Each structure stands twice: as C-alpha cells, then as structure tokens.
Amino acid sequence: MADILIVEDNEEIGILLQDFFTVEGYDVYHALSGEEALSIFEEDGAKVVILDIMLPGVDGFEVCRRIRENSDVPILIVSAKGTKDDKMNGLILGADDYIEKPYDIDILLAKVAGIMKRRYGSDDITIGNIKLDKVKRKVFVDQKEVPVNKTEFSLLLYMMENRGKTLDKNALFNHVWGMDSESEAQTLTVHIKWLREKLETDPKNPLHIKTVWGVGYRFE
C-alpha cells in the first residue's frame, strides 16, 4: 500500500508533487487518469488520495464516489474548479477537503502530514496477543513473528483497524481484492481460514476472528 496516491493528468505537476512528497519520506503513486487511479487503488490501496477533478475519461468526482463506496481513505480534492457548487459536490461525494488551485505546496504538505498523524499516528496495532506493524508489514503473535503474505496482511490490517465492527463479506472482499478482481468470493473464506491457523490458539474456536453468520466477520 502506498502512502499517497496522486491523481493528476498534468504529468509535469504530478511528477513535481510526487517529488515533494517523496522528499518528505512518503511512498507515492502517480496516476494520470481516473481509470488508472481506480485500478491502482483497487489493487494496492493508499493512505491518502490527492485528487484532481478535470481528468480524461472518468473525472475526479466519479473517482471520489467510487472510492468512497468501499473505503474511508482520506481524500483531498485539489482542483482549479473552484465554484461553490464544485466544492459542495466534492464534499457531498465524500472528499475530506477541497483545495483550490493555485495553492501553496507547504500548506498541502502540512494538511497531509496532519492527516497522517491523526489517522496513522501509530505504526503498530496491538489487540490481545496479536501485534501488527503497519510500516514493516509484519505480524506477531505472543511476540513471535508469524509469516503472512501480502493479501493476508491487507485482510488482517483492515479487520484490526475495524476491530469490533461486523464487516460484510462483499465489502471486505472488495476492499482487499478490488471490485474488478477476477478472484472468486470464496477466496475470502480461504484466507480467513489461513489467518486463523496462523493466529488463533484453536482455529476451530477462534478468539479473534469471529464469523457473523449470514453477514461476514468481526475482529475482537
């Protein structure tokens, strides 16, 4: 998962933004179109999306709407479209902020730094005897590292970040594998089984990864 996904069809501006954020230590993806942005997000995700509106093909409003269907990732719209209606539309669709071009790059950097601190301030998530290191992408049970693959980590991270919440199977599958994935929905059940075998003392009677029959799963 990248730290930042920049969606900007002006290649020069996009590369410039990417350079600024890379210097600050962020892992950055740059998409030149709405279609490319959705593909990147569905495959790898991002912690923050910086989104232009005037894009070829699928515009920024539609990108915002489609991302927001299955994710609460922070979205910052950065656009030359600065009318009241444009700003209201972006915010109604789920954007967290709407910044009008031209803007001060230092302000944008500060806004993203603030989001990162509030949203992802801790690099670790610990629940019971399970610890997940978000930066190193490692999982520990009783302080011993447990090997997990990329998909298992993404699935576990999403569940632990939503601890105590019942997550619908379809929403969970779409978040991890993407809406356009060619994988079968049954693969979610298989990965849940693998995680239980790696994390639970008794996988058949799990303490953490609970099945909510007819709905999905919940991490406790």
Domain total for the chain?
2
Quote the pTM value.
0.57
87 and 179 fall within a common domain:
no
Q: What is the pLDDT along the chain (220 residues), one digit of tens a residue?
A: 788 999 999 999 999 999 998 888 788 999 999 999 999 999 888 999 999 999 999 999 999 999 999 899 999 999 998 899 999 999 999 999 999 998 899 999 999 988 887 887 656 788 889 989 876 788 999 989 999 998 999 999 999 989 999 999 988 888 888 766 667 778 999 999 999 999 999 999 999 999 999 999 999 9
Q: Which domain holds residue 8?
A: 2-120
List, in order, residues 6 or more apart from 194 with CB less than 8 Å away.
152
User: Domain boundary residue among 120, 137, 154?
Assistant: 120
72 and 180 fall within a common domain:
no
User: Domain boundary residue among 71, 90, 120?
Assistant: 120
User: Domain boundary residue among 120, 139, 156?
Assistant: 120
95 and 128 fall within a common domain:
no
> Alpha-carbon distance 160 to 126, whole Å?
9
Phi and psi angles of residue 211, each rounded to the nearest 5 degrees, phi first? -90, 130
Run of H or E residues at 89: helix 84-92
55: domain CATH number is 3.40.50.2300
129 and 207 fall within a common domain:
yes
CA triple 210-130-165, angle to 5 deg? 35
CA dist 210 to 86, 172, 200, 205, Å? 43, 14, 11, 9
